[in-house]
Structure 1
Amino acid sequence: MRARRATSWRRWLGDRRGVAAIEFALIAPVLIVLLLGCVTLFVAYRDSQDAEKATFTIGDLLSRRTDPVDDAFLSTTQQLFLQMVSRTAERTKYRISSLTRSGGKFSVAWSYAVAPRTALRTADIPTDSLPVVADGDSLVLVETAVSYDPLFGGLGLVSGEHVNLAANRPRFIAAIAKSD
């Protein structure tokens, strides 16, 4: 009797049926979390690249301009930016400024901002982020911020902003003028 019990016990321990199902049940949640994390990071990276490309496109568009700009034109550039990043105005920050370098320092010639941003002041110019230009040159500075929420927030990723800055010299004129 005892030998029979030992034999059936060994047979039960040696039975490998159902092992794959148990292994799958243990590893499936890990694979799902890994997949969701990869998709979330991909979407965040894609959104970051879209925001950066849109910012540089607006900067390039303005640098090729030869006519003075007005608020209506600058509002149109913001609408173009919103189309390129597929966001609403509430989820973006947008500011365009024309800077002039004189005496080794930058000053603001004009600035167009969409709320909640305010117009750029000379004291707030991000000089560390600007390229080196000669005295008398000007720059068109496009500053944008696009907020994002992670696709699957339960994975430890938090909401934030993709902040971009594009500084371009006007190509065909010394400085871009703004008419009111």
Structure 2
Amino acid sequence: MGKEHLSHFRRCENGVMAVEFAMVAPVMILLMLASVELPRAIMTGQEVSRAARTMADLVSRENLASLDDVYAAGAAVADLPLADLGIVVTAAGVYSESGALVAKVCSIKTSNATGLAVKSVIGPAPPASAEAGARYVMAEVGYTYKPAFTIIPALMRYRFSNTVQWPVRKGTTYKGKPEIVLPNGKPCE
């Protein structure tokens, strides 16, 4: 009787589909969740970039007594909570030092982030402002991503950040150049 049961068990095909489904279902579920999470993450990165561009553009237009409206506009364009954004807005000047053009911080304003100190070197002058005495605005926005699903470990606590350098459009003229002075800041020296 034992050999008959084994022989019958070997030929039996009942439940094969259930086993196949049990093997394929987790993979299909992971693919479905990833097809939601990855586009959402890409869109969040684009929103952070859009917020930085918006803030740089708004600040470059004129001196403002407060940047609260600029921060709110950046958060609205990005469709992200303002409290979750790390924002650094910098008014910078370009100086000639040892034959090289160097950008330095003239005034700075932050929200939920830390920035460089006034007179700190930012780095080489951006190509659009590559002349001594040039002035520009720089907006940096950072956001720690909050995934809807925790299936992709690389996205857990991933930080999107974007820095935009924008030429001064209007501003107060100091030393013959239009310049933006951020709230509680001073013009470039």
Q: TM-score range by the shorter chain?
A: 0.7 to 0.9
**Higher Cα Rg: structure 1 or 2?**
1
Give the match for residue 159 of structure 1. 157
TM-score using structure 2 length: 0.75
Change (3 A) 1:172 1:116: closer
Q: Does the CA contact (< 8 Å) of 1:95 and 1:119 recur in 2?
A: no
Q: Does the CA contact (< 8 Å) of 1:99 and 1:140 recur in 2?
A: yes
Is 2:135 the partner of 1:138? Answer: yes
Residue 102 of structure 1, CA deviation: 1.9
Is 2:76 the partner of 1:78? Answer: no
Change (3 A) 1:44 1:124: farther
| Equivalent position to 2:33, from 33, 36, 49 | 36
Residue 177 of structure 1, CA deviation: 3.7
Is 2:117 the partner of 1:113? Answer: no
| Equivalent position to 1:175, from 160, 174, 179 | 179
TM-score using structure 1 length: 0.78
Consecutive unaligned residues in structure 1, runs of 5 or more:
none
Whole-Å Cα distance in 2 between the matches of residues 175 and 41 of structure 1?
A: 41
Whole-Å Cα distance in 1 between the matches of residues 143 and 109 of structure 2?
A: 17
Overall identity of the aligned pairs, in %? 21
Give the match for residue 100 of structure 1. 93
Q: Does the CA contact (< 8 Å) of 1:113 and 1:119 recur in 2?
A: no
Whole-Å Cα distance in 2 between the matches of residues 89 and 118 of structure 1?
A: 17
Whole-Å Cα distance in 2 between the matches of residues 171 and 26 of structure 1?
A: 61
Whole-Å Cα distance in 2 between the matches of residues 154 and 42 of structure 1?
A: 14
Whole-Å Cα distance in 2 between the matches of residues 120 and 162 of structure 1?
A: 23
Give the match for residue 49 of structure 1. 46
Residue 144 of structure 1, CA deviation: 0.9
More helix by share: 1
More strand by share: 2
Change (3 A) 1:119 1:75: farther
CA offsets 1:126-172 (integer angstroms, 9 cap, x no match): x26x6232111111000111111222224423212111100011235
How many matched pairs? 171
